[in-house]
Structure formats: structure tokens, C-alpha cells
Chain A
């Protein structure tokens, strides 16, 4: 069930549609969509929660800047949904985190190398 009103799809030129699975729910979108667009088209918000206060977040900038669209795509955590093109059969899951000190440490290790 969508928790937010889905975005509206206008008439499009795309004739190829693909099916991806968001939280095991089959969603059909045009092949040119990004995963973030697919999430919004299905109204499946929030797409993540923060590790600090569990506050709810959703794709915000759609251009790779804010990192609010981080989800798990085909098993790969912290994937930017707005920078990833959908593929047929792709499996996407939300990143629902609880306050967790380890998460902060991993992030640091990644950036401060």
C-alpha cells in the first residue's frame, strides 16, 4: 500500500516498461526511470529513516546531491536511488534504520580514507 499519494504519470513516449520490486511489491515503470522516480510513482514513502533519530526521509533533490534517496538495490546498501536506472526484475528495499552507533562508524571509514 502506498503511504503517500503517488506522483502522476503524464502521457509518455516510452513504450518499454519494466517491472521492479520495491519491498516485494511489483511496480511497473518506463524503462528510462530512475529507482527514485519508481518509488515516487508508487508513493512508497518514506524510502529511508535516519540512523540518528529514525526520522523519515524521501528523495529530495533527484540529482545526486542530498543522499536522502539511499536504499538497498539488489542487495547493495546505500545506493542512490535517483542515480540508478531501473532494470527489469530489480529488487529494492527501504533503509529503515534505528539509531545505531556502528552505522556512523562505517560511514566515517568510507569518507575519511
Chain B
């Protein structure tokens, strides 16, 4: 065991939600442990910000460097931080108000940490974007390219093509352009009509004018950059050279077949909550139609279906970095009150400001969700597309299993090993549930998701032995 401390609160994830929650809880006298898989603070959004790699700060833009405020606050606080800490299991007793046990590896050493409350702020992951050729070396996600810019001041090999939809796609296109990268094509894979579908939500979105303005500025910047833009792109395919590296991307606009030579293809179809841990903990989840993904069930304080476990930030539903920070604060306040460090009256008063600010951040989401809703082919791909990258199972295989009588993802898993590879379904789970739902004319909620088993990260024997010592 790390030490004999019984923490009041353990927080998994040191992004904006986790850091904000940690600061808030520790200010109210809670003994807090903040854990993250990475080497330092920041999560994905403020990755490497504790020691920025890029000399030229104009490339990533001011939103990234804004995160410094939070990082400085955590550094000054009395929070116990554990990095390179990968949680593989959390156990909790049946009854509430007893101790949660968190099993993890810290720098590859098996450890255990005990806490009275747990806050999961595990963030988001990019939505799986299956299409023919997506496994080829040279194809990466937009998020991956942004991470490489942040951690290593690196830009991808060109010629470069970017394909998909979503705010992050526009942001990385602008950032790479600022970094001097020549972008050979920006392929917008949304079908016609997304603007019309988003329009009814515009009025609500207007409550967050600064964010809308930022989006418009980004679009203007891309336009000015003279990047060739292709709209309503269909049949996106990545093609390889004889040595199996990406060489070309082919697609259609209208009836016209097009090809662009490239060495890197970045794709993106939005982000979804990282539910690996909340699933493994058997917390309740609900399908979110607009974001086409599952959210863990939570109340307005972030309390999950288990009374001692809370969820904040993008792990609880996509709100963006600022919104995530507010949800972190709100959850921390409620946890503080549940441990009787503040009264219900104080809670109501203290939560007012973050709640109001959160509402402002979330009002734009329905508009964005509709505007960037992925094309159907990325949700339920054509037959030949590989769905499970690890075990190499195709969409056709899944459809075939449904015809044979499989009614849910756990059955397809048993028949084909889909979702049983090292990623444990992180990159196929949504697709498999969507395909089964479509084929059996059910909702994804009715079809369900993989049963995620512990450990959620591969553990080796020596780490288990450490724990027994």
C-alpha cells in the first residue's frame, strides 16, 4: 500500500475536471489524492502544459496556455498527486459510507489506495471512426496529431489530408497551418443538411456568444489559409502502397470520384466519454441520442448510481474544458458536504456560481452536437470495414452474427472475440452496439454494451505480487 492514509477523496484523472475538483475539495479541508496515467497534470487538453514543448505559443493558441492557472493552483496545494498511475480495479463494499479500495500501478509497481469517496474524471476519447483502410500506418486521429504538437512539438509527415467532422478537426487544421504544415485537403464528411438540423438549437447557443465567435473565427482562418475544402464527402478510403503504408486517400463528392496522394491522414468524428472505468464499476449508463454515445447516469451533482462514486468532466458527457472544470467543482462541493465539512446551506450557496457558469458552457452543446453529428457510415460502417482493430472483425461479421441470433455485444464477443483484444472494446464498442441495434431494429440502450471486466488495464504478475506484500 502507498501509505496508510485513508483519503477523503480520490480523483482519477488530472485534467480540468479533476484538477478543479481537487483544488476545491482541498480548500475545504479534504484529504485528496489525485491520480493520472500520464507523467504530469493537464489531461489531454492541457497535456504537457506544465512544461510546454513548442517554442512558438501562437501555434496552439491562448486557450491551451490558459490551463496554466489551474496547474499552478494544484501545484501550490496540499494535494497528494500520483502520476504514471494506471488504475486497473476499484472495489467497493455493498453499503455506502465505507472504504473504497483502488488497485493501481504507479510507475509499474502494484499499489493500493483507500478512499471514502471517488471522483472519476477520466475524460473523453475520440469516437471510433471506422472506414476502409483506417488501420494503415499513416492514418491517425486528429487528437493524436494535436497531442504530438503539445508533447513533442512535432507535425505529421506531409502531404497531409484531414477528414471527418467536429470542432477539434477545425482546430487542429488551423494549428497545423499555423505551424507551417501544408494541408492538401480538408474533407468534410458530413452529409448535406446539418446546418438545418442544428438551426433550432441556435437560439440557445447564442447564450454563449464568445464560444460561437471563436468557432467562426476558426472557420474564417481556415478559409483564409486556402486549404482545399471538399464538402459532403462520401466513400472515404485510405489506400496503401506495396509496403502497406498509406499512400492515397480516395473519396466521392457527389458522383465524382476523387483521389489525393498523402503520407498522413488525420480523421475525427467528435469525442465521447471514456466509460471504461464507469462500465467496469457496473455503474448505470444511458444512451445519449444527440451525442450518439453512452453517458454514465449522474445527478446534477455528478453523483453516479453508486452513492460514493461521482463523475465529472467529459467522462460524464461532453462539455468541453471549461464546462469540465465547473462540473469538477460542483462534484467536489457535494462530496465536501456529504463528508459533513460544509452544511447543505453552504453547499447551495457555493454551488451557485459554478452551476451558472456550467449552464453557459452547456447551452451551446445541442447546437454543436447536431451540427457535427457524424455521417451514418462512421456509426454503422459498410460490410467490408474492419470494426474491431485488435481482433480484426468486420462489420459484415457482426451483421452475420446478428442474423445467426446474437442479440447483444457480449454474445458477438463470445462468438468472434470482437472487443476482447488489448483495447478491450474502446475502439469498437460503440460501433458494435450501433450495428446490432440497426440490424435488430432496437435502440443501443436495448442492445447494451460490452461487459467490461477487471482489470481495465493489462496488469502483469509482478504488479499483483507487489500488492500482496
Binding site for B on A (CB under 8 A): 3-14, 29-30, 32-34, 37, 40-41, 43, 45-47, 50, 52-53, 55-68, 70, 78, 83, 85, 104, 107-108, 110-113
Q: Which residues of B contact A (CB under 8 A)?
A: 37-39, 44, 48, 51-56, 59, 84, 86, 125-126, 135-141, 143-144, 147-148, 151-158, 179-181, 243-245, 263, 274, 389-392, 417, 420-424, 426-427, 453-455, 458-459
Of listed A4, A30, A53, A108, residue having the most chain B CB within 10 A: A4
A13 to B327, CA, bound (A): 33
Known: A7-B156, A8-B155. A50 touches B422 (CB 8 A): no
Chain B residues in 8 Å Cβ range of A113: 454-455
Q: Is the CB of B51 within 8 A of A13?
A: yes
Question: Which residue on chain A has the smallest CB distance to residue B136?
Answer: A56
Contact A68 B389 (CB under 8 A): yes
User: Is A41 a contact partner of B152 (Cβ separation < 8 A)?
Assistant: yes
Report whether A13 and B422 are in contact in the complex, using a CB–CB cutoff of 8 Å: no
Q: Closest 9 CB pairs between A and B?
A: A5-B157, A58-B137, A67-B422, A62-B144, A12-B153, A37-B152, A11-B55, A45-B137, A62-B147
Please, which residues of chain A bring their CB within 8 A of the CB of B157? Answer: 4-8, 43
- Count A/B pairs, Cβ under 8 Å: 165
> In the bound complex, do residue B51 and residue A32 qualify as a contact, i.e. CB atoms below 8 Å apart?
yes
Inter-subunit contact A4/B137 (CB<8 Å): yes
CA distance A5 to B247 in the complex (A): 11
Cα-based distance from A11 to B39 in the complex (angstroms): 22
**How far apart are the CA atoms of A111 and B276 in the complex, in Å?**
13
Question: Can you spell out 27 A-B residue pairs with CB atoms less than 8 angstroms apart?
Answer: A4-B157, A4-B245, A4-B263, A8-B155, A8-B157, A8-B181, A9-B152, A9-B153, A9-B154, A12-B55, A12-B152, A13-B51, A13-B55, A32-B51, A41-B152, A45-B138, A50-B390, A56-B136, A56-B137, A57-B389, A60-B144, A60-B389, A61-B140, A61-B144, A62-B141, A65-B423, A78-B422
Q: Which of A55, A62, A111 contacts B392 (CB 8 A)?
A: A55
In the bound complex, CA of A12 to CA of B389 (Å)? 34
Contact A66 B427 (CB under 8 A): yes
Asked whether, in the complex, the Cβ of B37 is within 8 Å of the Cβ of A10, the reply is no
* A33 lies within 8 A of B151 (CB): yes
Q: Which of A33, A70, A111 has the most CB of B within 10 A?
A: A111
In the bound complex, residues from chain B placing their C-beta under 8 Å from that of A32 are 48, 51, 53, 151-152
Closest B-chain residue to A37, C-beta based? B152
Given contacts A13-B54, A60-B140, A78-B422, contact A7 B151 (CB under 8 A): no
Q: Which residues of the other chain, B, contact A65 by a CB distance below 8 angstroms?
A: 125-126, 274, 423, 426-427
Output the nearest chain B residue to A4 by Cβ-Cβ distance.
B245
- B39 lies within 8 A of A85 (CB): yes
Do A111 and B37 contact each other (CB < 8 Å), given the known contacts A33-B152, A55-B392?
no
Q: Are B155 and A13 in contact (CB under 8 A)?
A: no
Instruction: For the complex, give the distance between the alpha carbons of A110 and B181 in Å.
Output: 42
Please give, as numbers and ranges, the residues of chain A lying within 8 Å of B139 by CB-CB distance. 60
* Given known A12-B53, A41-B154, A62-B144, contact A55–B135 (CB-CB < 8 A): yes
Q: Is the CB of A55 within 8 A of B155?
A: no
The reply to whether A83 and B244 contact each other, CB–CB distance below 8 Å, is no
> Closest residue to A49 on the B side, CB-wise?
B244
Partner of B125, one of A40, A47, A63: A63
Known contacts A61-B143, A62-B147; A3/B417 CB under 8 A: no
Q: Besides the contacts A10-B180, A13-B55, A47-B137, what 11 more A-B pairs have beta carbons closer than 8 Å?
A: A33-B151, A37-B152, A37-B154, A40-B154, A41-B154, A55-B244, A65-B125, A65-B126, A67-B421, A85-B39, A111-B424
Bound CA–CA A14/B84 (angstroms):
21
Quick check: B420 and A83 within 8 Å, CB to CB?
no
Contact A111/B455 with A37-B148, A62-B148, A65-B125 known, Cβ cut-off 8 Å: yes
Question: Given contacts A55-B135, A62-B140, are A10 and B54 in contact (CB under 8 A)?
Answer: yes
Shortest CB–CB separation between residue A21 and chain B, in angstroms? Answer: 18
By CB atoms of chain A within 10 A, which of B157, B392, B424, B453 has the most?
A: B157
Contact A46:B453 (CB < 8 A) given known A7-B154, A10-B179, A85-B39 = no
Instruction: Assess whether A4 is in contact with B155, with CB atoms less than 8 Å apart.
Output: no
Contact of B140 among A50, A59, A64 (CB under 8 A): A59
Contact call A66/B423, Cβ cutoff below 8 A: yes
Which of B39, B141, B155, B424 is close to A10, meaning CB atoms less than 8 Å apart?
B155
- Per the bound structure, the CA–CA distance linking A9 and B157 in Å amounts to 10
* B423 engages A108 (CB within 8 Å): no
Q: Are B53 and A50 in contact (CB under 8 A)?
A: no
Count chain A CB atoms within 10 A of each CB in B136, B148, B453 and give the residue with the most: B148
